[in-house]
Structure 1
Amino acid sequence: MKDLQYPLHFRFKVTSFANDFTAVDAAGNTIYYVREKIFTFRDRIMVYRDQQKTELLYELVSNKLIDFQQTFTIYDAEQRVVGKVRRKTIRSLWRSTFNLMDPEDRLDHSIKEKNPWTKFFDGLFGELPLIGMLSGYVFNPSYILRNDVGEEMFEIKKEPSFFGRKFTVHKITTREIDDERFVLSLMLMVIMERSNG
């Protein structure tokens, strides 16, 4: 993965029927275009170099036809396994949780919602007539990616917006790490959690 300039920004298209977004770096340069393939039996998310889809860089493929303990395998362009992400569906009723595994299936990181009350109030507020449309501007969840000893590595926050969806990724750790698997995992999480906040 290229050297990334943080913070990163994920910007969903407002006018698109597809679940897709553009990832740009701190300088405003497009670094990825992420698109969920719809009308397929298994969830598939494609990560391209740009919006023209000239080069497929990564593919995230679900192992199940339904969303129950769903696991996505992340492949690079040569079909090598980069890692896996498993959503903890039962617990996500309260706090969204995603477990990250390395290519050897070892659980070593997790992504968790920072404040589960945000999701609760967003759901409650969103049901109110008319003013419920403002929930996307008022309730904005954030998520923390930690390693297996609890060290915070990344934080991703939903930015206030009325119509589209915008997320900002901050790299918290100062240690030298390979960002590839973690940024891809955050991209996947954003696709799955887009409707919250």
Structure 2
Amino acid sequence: MVLKNLNYPLDFKFKITTLSSDFNITDKNGNYVAYVRQKMFKLKEDVIVFNDESKSEELFRIKADRWLDFNASYAINDLVNEKSYGRLARKGMRSFWKSHYEILDEKDELKFLISEDNAWVKIFDGMVSEIPIVGMFTGYFLNPSYTVKDPKGNEYFKLRKMPSLVGRRFQLDRLKDIDDEDESLVVLSFLMMVLLERTRG
């Protein structure tokens, strides 16, 4: 299954009324793209992607291969067609300085790289967030961004953390046209990455 006719930018907006890490993905017209639910109390990340907030249809499932996210890999499965879609791999050592992920297809071949644009945002966020009161407002001025490139260095997508105090909101823009299958793989990889990176900024 592919996510077709996506109208960018896409908004990833977390719900603040639930204990679980649920969020909506909507397009620029406010139409649903997907509803994402992270299963609670799981030692390994387990995420289900639904068609919308009614949760009437399960589209994809993303599961971690280990309970620690250091160098973890997240398998993306197409539940409609019952097949592997690919996976997102977190590169642990680089994540201490600058978040870095690899996106691999169903044949386990490297398709894209996700890298954080400015490592200093991560450093300042870690320092300022420890300051009483001031740390509460880092979400307004310390917001990371991430770029997707192919192995040749061509840029395809950019994800930005948007300023907010309580609600967590990210915005995804497509920089150039891309194959539908690859586009879906990138969007699904980003929604998993957002769950891993959401506490930043």
> 13, 16, 19: which is aligned to 1:17?
19
> 172, 185, 189: which is aligned to 1:181?
185
Determine if the alignment matches structure 1 residue 71 to structure 2 residue 77.
no
Counting only pairs closer than 5 Å after superposition, residues 56-67 of structure 1 correspond to structure 2 as 56-67=58-69
Shift of 1:175: 4.6
Unaligned runs of 5+ in 2: none
Distance 1:57 1:175, change over 3 A: closer
Q: State the distance in 1 between where 2:29 and 2:135 align.
A: 34
Unaligned runs of 5+ in 1: none
**AA of the residue aligned to 1:33:** Y
Counting only pairs closer than 5 Å after superposition, residues 21-40 of structure 1 correspond to structure 2 as 21-40=23-42
**AA of the residue aligned to 1:99:** E
Shift of 1:37: 0.6
Aligned to 1:168: 171
Aligned to 2:83: 80
Identity percentage of aligned residues: 37
Aligned to 1:47: 49
Q: State the distance in 2 between where 1:64 and 1:70 align.
A: 6
Q: State the distance in 2 between where 1:139 and 1:168 align.
A: 15
Shift of 1:176: 4.6
Shift of 1:177: 4.6
Secondary structure at the aligned position of 2:92 is classed as coil
CA RMSD of aligned residues (A): 1.1
Shift of 1:108: 2.0
Aligned to 2:121: 118
Secondary structure at the aligned position of 1:91 is classed as helix
**TM-score normalised to structure 1 length:** 0.96
Equivalences, count: 197
